[in-house]
Amino acid sequence: MLRVVAGGFSALVWGMVAGYARRLVPSHMAGRAMAVAMVGTPLALALGVPLGTFSGSVVGWRWAFAGMSLLTVLLIVWIIVAVPDRSGQSARTGTPLTKVLLIPGVAPVLSTTFLWILAHNVLYTYIAPYVDSTGLDVRVDVTLLAFGVAALAGIWFTGALVDRGLRMLVLCSLSTFALGCLILGLTGHLLVPYFLAIVGWGFTFGGAATQVQTALSDAAGRDGDLATSMLITSFNLAIFGGSGLGGVSLERLGASSFPWIVLVLAVSALVIATVARRHGFPPGHRLATTADDGEPSTCSSLSGTA
């Protein structure tokens, strides 16, 4: 029961944090602000699990959970005291979810997100059996460390460029991810290509959340908060689907099939993002302006600055 409650509130927080981060800064820095907000994700992936395991082995799982609860309370106090408030979207101005889905650009971004995260979770969830299938003398924790460090670098890179070249970032990230899968499929049994592919995978995934959330918020405009809630649903469906697809593939085809399955999913996401040139992932700089009615809009320019 507690897992269900925790999962529900986790989804609620992720549904709000993107819009909140964008409201804290000027509109032309919205993408960079989101990149900073998202830095916690790869940090948690790279550090949270090993630290949690270590603390549990030292003081026991009950005290480890008590420590996390105390940190949560301190975080709440810090937010109340130090973090500025921002107004959300009024319920009276809300758009039905079905109409938000029909806004040009929203569906392509959601589809790209689902396929991207689905592909990621097929491999990430079952990384241990995949590493074993390569025949390399490589520890899983070393692989995950390389992935986590590369993901941090990817967030920094995305934060530096997302407001100037969002489309370029998305297409390059998906292309690099697909190339990494191809390398794993063909030469994953060799140490250097293996780590090159893992680093490329981590680097591109680090900025994925920022890239798709920025694109979706831009496409949805004033309905960005509602669109973000749909994005979180897409994320969680992809996580669930990745575990299921990976499990079935592991049982029927073996772990060596993962790179090829992920490659198909990554290329499918790349095709959708490529086609969504006008709405969803437009080219050029993000020049967020504010219309008379207060709705943020995005235009492209070759000479503008972010």
- CA dist 258 and 249 (Å) reads 7
- CA dist 157 and 159 (Å) reads 5
Q: Per DSSP, what are the bridge partners of residue 296?
A: 290
Which residues neighbour 238 within 8 Å (Cβ) at sequence distance 6 or greater? 113, 114, 115, 116, 117, 118, 120, 121
Helix (H, G, I), strand (E, B) or coil at 288: strand
Helix (H, G, I), strand (E, B) or coil at 298: strand
- Considering only residues 27 and 217, tell me which one the structure prediction assigns the higher pLDDT: 217
Percent of the chain topping pLDDT 70: 80
pLDDT score recorded for residue 233: 84
pLDDT score recorded for residue 141: 82
Of the listed ranges 34-38, 137-141, 151-155, the one predicted with least confidence? 34-38
Helices (H) and strands (E) in the chain, counts: 14, 2
Distances in Å between the Cα of 110 and the Cα atoms of 113, 149, 234, 254, 273 are: 5, 27, 7, 30, 10
Confidence of residue 193 (pLDDT cuts 50, 70, 90): very high
pLDDT score recorded for residue 246: 95
- CA dist 183 and 110 (Å) reads 27
Give pLDDT tens digits for 84-128: 877 665 555 556 777 888 888 899 999 999 999 999 999 999 999
Write the Ramachandran bin of 281: left for phi over 0, alpha for psi from -120 to 50, otherwise beta: beta
- Considering only residues 284 and 197, tell me which one the structure prediction assigns the higher pLDDT: 197
pLDDT score recorded for residue 52: 74
Confidence of residue 303 (pLDDT cuts 50, 70, 90): very low
- The stretch 45-64 carries a mean pLDDT of 76
CB 219 within 8 A of CB 282: no
Two structure tokens written together for 178:
């697909």
What's the length of the chain? Answer: 306
Angle at CA 263, nearest 5°, toward 284 and 168? 10
Q: What is the mean pLDDT of the chain?
A: 82
pLDDT score recorded for residue 288: 46
- Considering only residues 141 and 253, tell me which one the structure prediction assigns the higher pLDDT: 253
2-38+98-299 domain in CATH 1.20.1250.20?
Answer: yes
Distance of CA 97 to the CA centre of its chain: 22
- The stretch 1-25 carries a mean pLDDT of 71
pTM above 0.85, yes or no: no
